[in-house]
Structure 1
Amino acid sequence: MQTVILAAGQGTRMRPLTDRRPKPMLPVADRPLMAHTADAAVAAGASELLLVVGYEADDVRAYFGDEYRGVPVAYAVQDEQRGTAHAVRAAREHLEGAFAVLNGDDIYDPASIERLFEAAPAVGTYEVDDPLPYGVFDITDGEVEGIVEKPDDPPSNRVNVGAYVFPAEAREWLDVEASERGEEEITDVLARVVDERSVRAVDVDRWMGVGRPWELLEANEWKLGELDRDLRGEVADTAELRGAVVVEEGATVEPGVVVEGPVLVRAGAHVGPNAYVRGHTLLGEGARVGNAVEVKNSVIMSGTAVPHLSYVGDSVLGRDVNFGAGTTVANLRHDDEPVRLTVKGERVSTGRRKFGVVVGDGAKTGIETTLNAGVTLSTDARVGPNATVTRDR
């Protein structure tokens, strides 16, 4: 089964983390987000991966190359953001028969994708409590009758997860009219298939759409939760590592450190004396956590340093960030309401009682900085010493 993975989006809702790399290449545990999608496809029997890329495509090509886990890889470029059907059309010249389409910024459990491939033509569905924000399938006896986008009166609570298997003839049906939003939607292609063929609805056991920073945190919670203990790096005798902790070769954990899994310490990372690292935490390649620092349930990306006497909780820190000594992150509102975060200029609820900050690549804080819950620091932001930051910068 040829599998098209859509990875050309600019990830505007994930900014500033996507200012310098595409969203599908953000880290989830030990690999990029879209690699989990590719892994599910490979496990399900994909014969070829067709990666649709856009800006910063070099990152994608460098990671996947011409072959990924024994499966050939080809690339197509979507040079304009004109919707999902337009993205698949960019790969049309590579398509030879029935083909699957998966969102490169969604995570699926592999067994469900295997069932999807076997049921072709088919769509993946996921049962939610509140279907109003989603595209919702109208389903009768396991077959799709149609799809309704964000309906006031949903025909079911089984929503679209961006996972499809199309028959070969759908290759010629990718030229669709733009919607009112100016986008050419793959769901219009699906509607044509539904008119012509029976399309099975396949329930996906586990799925997550990763579009906003707290969802990246949740994706890491999922995948870090699947870790098995593995200590290949240098771990001091007096360090205490509890549960599912992975210390990759080339990483260092100094004396007096306490690590409560699940935690992944990637190659080249350094955890300094008496630090306390709590699950679910990812310390990226070359990251540094220093003396008496506490990090809890956070994503600390490659090259980032939290070197002295600091606290970081429930946060996402981009690459090459530096926190000055004594930088403290708040992750809980006094009124106990869900923390709110700015997404595309609008303050929205994360739905999380505990959430800290989002910090773009290259940002730096001065000593004794305090960051309020729900603050975003932009790429290359600078915060002076003794600052209390209550608004985005």
Structure 2
Amino acid sequence: MTDIGKYLITPKATVLDAMSAIDTNAKGIAFVCSDKKITAVITDGDIRRYIIGGGDLSRNVTEIANKNFKYLTETDTVDSDLIAAIKINYKAIPVLDAEGKILSIVFADETASLPHRKLNIPVVIMAGGKGTRLYPYTKVLPKPLIPIGDVPITMHIMQHFERFGCTHFTLVVNHQKELIKAYFSDPEIPYNIDFAEENTPLGTAGGLKLLDGKINGTFFMTNCDILVDADYDKIYEYHRKSGNLITMVCAVKKITIPYGTVSMNESGHIGSMVEKPEVSYLVNTGYYVVESEVLSEIPKGTFIHMTDVVQKCMDEGKPVGVFPISENQWSDMGQIDEMEKMKEKMVGGNGGY
């Protein structure tokens, strides 16, 4: 029996509260309820569009939730046609009693869900850094080969992209590049892998210049120390529909200040106090969708970071967008404590979510 409690939020919840609930239930949906009586429905797509539009995550969820939603009554029959309709048109459909209170939720069978579209888009993995924040691990292995479970982090990245039909990878390498090339030259690795070799450190974007004229159209770009567990198809589709030159995937990072904060009024007295307030920011994950014309914006043989390239495009008035994801969909092993958290996310620590 499904515990419906984890899908329910109160009308007093904020948009950020709804996002947390959706993260927890992992079904992409939450129901706004008062005493189990549904008043509105909100999905991860609703929240994403709200964030893209500059919405305030501290606002009440009822301001953006859908009040005209599909539902069933307890006398309705759940058949194969309904399940097919849910797979195509809905995240889920609630079943309500005569008073409008939720009795259960009908989800499409996850094992019969529609397959991901095969994107077949090239992927560039920036794998040239020294990984100094991961010492002493990187005194032995280059950062792209640090294992998470039994599999190197870069192989995890490739496996995630493979789910969406992306099997052509270019690794931009520098530090310990011969070791990296030797590992990924194994003929048993089922991907098309090539290398762009830096002679000197070029930052998180300078090495892309090596691909100028060798890569055309849209490509994915990712740092070699992060994992994004999201729908890459949706990210790509948003990038194309928005007409962006670059789309930066950003996570909503929640930070709790561990103290009571105090604000002063004009007379110099305490105006308000908030105990351990929570703030949120959009944080760059190090994952991008990029058009190849961006490569012309990168100077040859110059140390430059991707954020500098993004800023240059913005200064020139070129379209740069953001695709927001939840904090739980992003793992970063750039530092040792974060690497341990990444390992904890892996099922059984054996290399799979």
TM value normalised by structure 2: 0.51
Change (3 A) 1:160 1:39: same
- How far does residue 210 in structure 1 lie from its aligned partner after superposition? 1.0
Change (3 A) 1:68 1:199: farther
- Counterpart contact for 1:176–1:189, Cα < 8 Å: no
Change (3 A) 1:125 1:218: same
Q: Secondary structure at 1:204's aligned position in 2?
A: strand
Q: Secondary structure at 2:296's aligned position in 1?
A: helix
Matched, 1:201 2:326: no
- Aligned mates of 1:96, 1:131 — CA distance in 2: 43
Deviations 1:90-136 (A, max 9, x none): 33353222222100111111x3433222322421010012499xxxx
Cross-structure match for 1:169? 293
Max Rg structure: 2
Q: Secondary structure at 2:251's aligned position in 1?
A: strand
- Please show how residues 155-166 of structure 1 align to structure 2 within 5 Å: 157-166=281-290
Larger RCO of the pair (alpha carbons < 8 Å, separation 6+) = 2
Cross-structure match for 2:183? 63
- Counterpart contact for 1:14–1:211, Cα < 8 Å: yes
Cross-structure match for 2:207? 87
For structure 2, the residue ranges without an aligned partner over 5 or more in a row are: 1-120, 240-245, 258-278
Q: Secondary structure at 1:94's aligned position in 2?
A: coil
- Counterpart contact for 1:67–1:73, Cα < 8 Å: no
- Please show how residues 114-133 of structure 1 align to structure 2 within 5 Å: 114-120=233-239, 121-130=246-255
- Please show how residues 229-268 of structure 1 align to structure 2 within 5 Å: 262=348, 264=350
Matched letter for residue 191 of structure 1 = Q
Matched, 1:98 2:218: yes
Q: Secondary structure at 2:138's aligned position in 1?
A: coil
Cross-structure match for 2:124? 4
- Aligned mates of 1:166, 1:68 — CA distance in 2: 29
TM value normalised by structure 1: 0.46
Deviations 1:32-70 (A, max 9, x none): 011112222222332521101112223322332287864
- Aligned mates of 1:188, 1:176 — CA distance in 2: 14
- Aligned mates of 1:89, 1:69 — CA distance in 2: 27
Matched letter for residue 334 of structure 2 = G
- Aligned mates of 1:106, 1:191 — CA distance in 2: 22
Q: Secondary structure at 2:163's aligned position in 1?
A: helix
Change (3 A) 1:66 1:26: closer
For structure 1, the residue ranges without an aligned partner over 5 or more in a row are: 133-154, 226-261, 267-393
Deviations 1:328-385 (A, max 9, x none): xxxxxxxxxxxxxxxxxxxxxxxxxxxxxxxxxxxxxxxxxxxxxxxxxxxxxxxxxx
- Would you tell me which structure has more helix in proportion to its own residues? 2
- Structure 1 residue corresponding to 2:345, chosen from 200, 222, 239: 222
- Counterpart contact for 1:113–1:204, Cα < 8 Å: no
RMSD, matched Cα: 3.0
Determine what percentage of the aligned residue pairs are the same residue. 25
- Aligned mates of 1:176, 1:57 — CA distance in 2: 20
Cross-structure match for 2:194? 74
- Aligned mates of 2:342, 2:179 — CA distance in 1: 20
- Would you tell me which structure has more strand in proportion to its own residues? 1
Matched, 1:46 2:166: yes
- Aligned mates of 1:16, 1:218 — CA distance in 2: 18
- Aligned mates of 2:218, 2:256 — CA distance in 1: 29
- How far does residue 216 in structure 1 lie from its aligned partner after superposition? 2.0
- Aligned mates of 1:124, 1:263 — CA distance in 2: 26
- Counterpart contact for 2:123–2:221, Cα < 8 Å: yes
Matched letter for residue 16 of structure 1 = P
